[in-house]
Structure 1
Amino acid sequence: MHNPSVLSFRVAIGHDVAAVVSLVESAYRGESGQRGWTTESHLLDGQRTDVENVAELIGSDGSLVLLAEQGGELVACCHIERQDTSGYFGMFAVNPLLQRAGLGRAVLAEAERLARETWHATSMRMSVIEQREELIAWYERRGYRLTGETRPFPYGQPRFGIPRRDDLRFVWLSKPLDEVTA
């Protein structure tokens, strides 16, 4: 018997692009994003991603978009990419109405497992806007550590959002993948 509360994972394909864009935008921007704790609307206006970007991520070698579904409905997603001996984790989104229910932990753990088993990645890396202190703390509770690396925010490139402040930058976090995520 099918249990609609069971979380299932699959890799996105071309016909999933619009649903992924819609989920990511709902989690990070606008009014719907403010219902969840992952919103960036206090830092950025404009888009978080677009159809072209998601299609490119789905179609690139060493890259995949992982979908999490409940009852056949998309509830969360992330992008993982092979980068040398590491996996890169990004474009992480959980439906704002379902946040704080453990979906994020499950998606992160599955992404780590895929990177380890598919690409033999020894670590997972990610970049987060420095001002997202609550999100950084969430990752730290899952074994990620700040590396000390930073990267400037791509000001003047509205494809990545329209900054509401002039001091944004990315910080890098990393976690060895021999650790088991709880």
Structure 2
Amino acid sequence: MHIAPANPQDRDALLALIQSAYRGESSRAGWTTEADLLGGQRTDPEGLDAIFANPKQTLLAARQDGDLVGCIALTDKGAGRHYFGMLTIAPTQQGAGLGKQLLAAAEQQARDAGASVMEMWVIKQRADLIAWYERRGYLATGRHEPFPMADPRFGLPKRDDLEFAVFEKPLG
């Protein structure tokens, strides 16, 4: 797998990949689906454009044999902290270790940029995904953040109790 920063020309392919991994019937081919929790979109063109336009953000793309199979968004929050989100692996490729590789590459990029802590948010109802992150060294902070329930840019909630649990990992 080859991992490198994505560019604006990748936007449409990234949108399709992200949507297929998180929402709708196609997402059910993998284990990271949010289709039972959320309908609608996972992100939109403007959201990806904002990442490409922000010098504190990077979107890494993973390619296998030239095909886009994954991505992860990184944000430099300053003071030695980075945040990652939108870790995505094509549904039919999930379970093959690509997510581990992509996350490790993102953590290394954060270390190289001077980060000592990586932060991430995950929907608290995603026990299977939380367990996966815990196996990779992410620890619950006890902090929770509200899910943007009324903002369709992030999906259409199918439950009224969604919220994010905040996790951190020391990158030392």
Among candidates 95, 102, 107, match of residue 102 of structure 2: 107
Unaligned runs of at least 5 residues, structure 2: none
RMSD: 0.6
Amino acid at match of 1:173: F
Among candidates 15, 19, 27, match of residue 13 of structure 2: 19
Aligned to 1:37: 31
Aligned to 2:82: 87
Aligned to 1:147: 141
Sequence identity percentage? 48
**1:25-56 deviations in Å (ceiling 9; x for gaps):** 00000111011000000000000001110111
Aligned to 1:130: 124
How far residue 59 of structure 1 moved from its aligned partner, in angstroms, is 1.6
How far residue 61 of structure 1 moved from its aligned partner, in angstroms, is 1.1
Corresponding residue pairs, total: 171
**1:76-128 deviations in Å (ceiling 9; x for gaps):** 101001012211010111000010000000000000000110x2000100000
SS at match of 2:19: helix
The answer to whether residue 67 in structure 2 is matched with residue 73 in structure 1 is yes
Unaligned runs of at least 5 residues, structure 1: 1-6
Report the TM-score when normalising by structure 2: 0.98
Amino acid at match of 2:70: A
Amino acid at match of 1:148: G
Find runs of 4+ consecutive structure 1 residues off by over 3 angstroms: none
**1:10-36 deviations in Å (ceiling 9; x for gaps):** 101110111111110000001110110
